[in-house]
Amino acid sequence: MKNRKSTNRKLQNNSSRSSQGNSKLFDQEISKCPMVTQGCQSVIIGNNALLIHLETECNYFISKASEKVQRKIEEKVSGYSANNLIKLLLNQVRSTPMIETIDRTFFPSKMSTQYDVATKKPDRFPKMTIFKKIELVKEFEDTETIELGNVPMKSNLACAFTINKNKTLRLLVAYRSHKFSIVIKDMYGNTVKRLEGHTDHITEMKYFRNEKEESFLYSSSFDNRLIVWSLDTYEAKYIIDYKSWILSSSLVLLRKQNCSLAIISGGYYKKHPVGVYNLKDGSLEFEIPIELNVSIEIIQTLADEDQGKYYLFLGTDNEKPMLLWYDFRLKNLIMSFQTNSKITSITVEHSSKHSIMIFTDLSGGLKQVDLIQGKLLADYKQNAPILDLIIWDNDYFIVCGSHKDNSIKILTRQKTRLVKSFDSLHSKVIVNLSKYYHHQNGLCLVTIGGDKRIKLMKLS
């Protein structure tokens, strides 16, 4: 019995020493990573999470490994590679204890609220820039109401855009007023123009540049009209009379065909077809049939004539919420995605290397879809609505729309993790986000809220 007890004690002592040694090895290797001071979550996670960190996030281990590690690799292989270095580092921390047993002093306190201990899923920050604060650059209060009621809430109730006139670049903001008109103001609060022509509630508005690089603002309404406004003359250049009320629309630029199309949805009943109109004469080119028993409330498009992509994305009503992905030239449904509630914003990022579509819904859901491979990349859910989303840069999304805290939230694009939340920027819900390059402050964020305030802010 004594021998057994002594043996058990030895085993326990050996295991504790081994654990301590592994923990020290882990701390030594990880503490070299400069992202420790920027909230790198892999500081406190071993095993699989470290593998993710080494393979996808941290080039520091590959480029700045200790001389001892490099010598070990050079002894085994001629001309060490990143993969060999990763394997060696993993072997050194293979038995690293999990989060419960690692010294809490290694936990980055400023990011502590962003870690889910229950699931042990790491938040991954793709670069060292972590936004700390938002600085107000300019702000003005609207004397009229930024009218929010009577139509479904979505991101396109207002928009910010830049106009270059007389060699002067101006930031303008357009939003619908309670008199069925559109008010355009500059960032000093001066009214530039009031656009009048609708006779019922405006359902959305967007900015557009045509094949001649002319700037337009277009708006749709319950009065069955789509109006394309020239931002040179502030007059209605094109008017399309639709056969029913319009909930959403999108203008598509086709440079090779030297024309622009207006794609319009709405209707009094479900299964209403989507109309495609030629802007030159307002004629109906063709209709896209909707076989599902749904009505369409939001539209986004992607047209790449070189690659032969003519994509149409449709968000349906709240009775059967989903996103439909069509080829609008072939008029066929490519894919559909179910959502918990109706879609509030659709954003597309397209280049020669990749093509991604992101959409949000009123329940706080955000999904990313790879349009080349046709698969869902990420599915994120928060507890508050998302009304608008912009792609800030290669690494971050910014979303808004919470009725609880009237905040904007910064998310990582890689795994759609929450990085930072800035609360109470407006006293009522924020309905629109836009990016703008300010000559003095660099890249800035324009927010429009239901509290009648419009703000230009700098993230730092």
Phi first, then psi: what are they for 305, rounded to 5°? -70, -30
- Domains in the chain: boundaries: 2-114, 134-459
pLDDT at 30: 45
Q: Which residue has the tokens 């690692």?
A: 102
Phi first, then psi: what are they for 148, rounded to 5°? -115, -20
Give the tokens for residue 268: 């009094």
pTM above 0.85, yes or no: no
Calculate helix-pair angle for 82-92, 67-76, nearest 10 degrees.
110
Residue 261 sits at the vertex; the CA angle it makes with 154 and 202, to the nearest 5 degrees, is 30
Mark residue 337 as left, alpha or beta (left: phi above 0; alpha: psi -120 to 50; beta: remaining). beta
Torsion sign, CA atoms 428, 345, 434, 38: positive
- Digit-by-digit pLDDT tens for the chain (460 residues) are 445 445 444 444 544 444 444 444 444 444 444 444 444 443 333 334 444 444 443 444 444 444 554 455 455 444 445 455 455 554 444 433 332 222 222 223 332 333 233 333 444 454 545 688 899 999 988 777 665 554 445 667 788 888 877 777 888 999 888 778 999 998 888 999 999 999 988 888 899 988 777 889 999 998 999 999 999 999 999 999 998 889 899 999 998 888 899 999 987 678 889 999 998 888 999 999 998 888 898 999 999 998 899 999 999 988 889 999 999 999 999 999 988 888 889 999 998 888 999 999 988 999 999 999 898 998 998 888 898 999 998 889 999 987 777 889 999 887 788 888 898 898 888 888 999 888 888 889 999 888 888 999 998 8
Residues in contact with 327: Cβ distance below 8 Å, sequence separation at least 6, in sequence order:
310, 311, 312, 334
Give the tokens for residue 41: 């979550």
Nearest Cα to Cα of residue 323 among 297, 355, 351, 291: 297
Architecture of domain 134-459: 7 Propeller (2.130)
End-to-end CA distance of the chain: 66
Q: CB of 294 within 8 A of CB of 286? A: no
Give the tokens for residue 46: 């071993």
pLDDT at 399: 93
pLDDT at 50: 45
Could you give the CA distance from residue 214 to residue 237 in angstroms, rounded to a whole number? 11
With the CA atoms of 99, 103, 109 and 113 taken in that order, what torsion angle do they form, in degrees rounded to the nearest 10? Answer: 20
Pairing of strands 202-209, 215-221: antiparallel
Residues in contact with 310: Cβ distance below 8 Å, sequence separation at least 6, in sequence order:
252, 302, 303, 327, 328, 329, 330
pLDDT at 179: 79
Nearest Cα to Cα of residue 398 among 175, 161, 206, 155: 155
Q: CB of 74 within 8 A of CB of 84? A: no
Torsion sign, CA atoms 207, 323, 340, 223: positive
Q: CB of 124 within 8 A of CB of 52? A: yes
Residue 87 sits at the vertex; the CA angle it makes with 83 and 93, to the nearest 5 degrees, is 145
Nearest Cα to Cα of residue 374 among 391, 356, 349, 348: 356
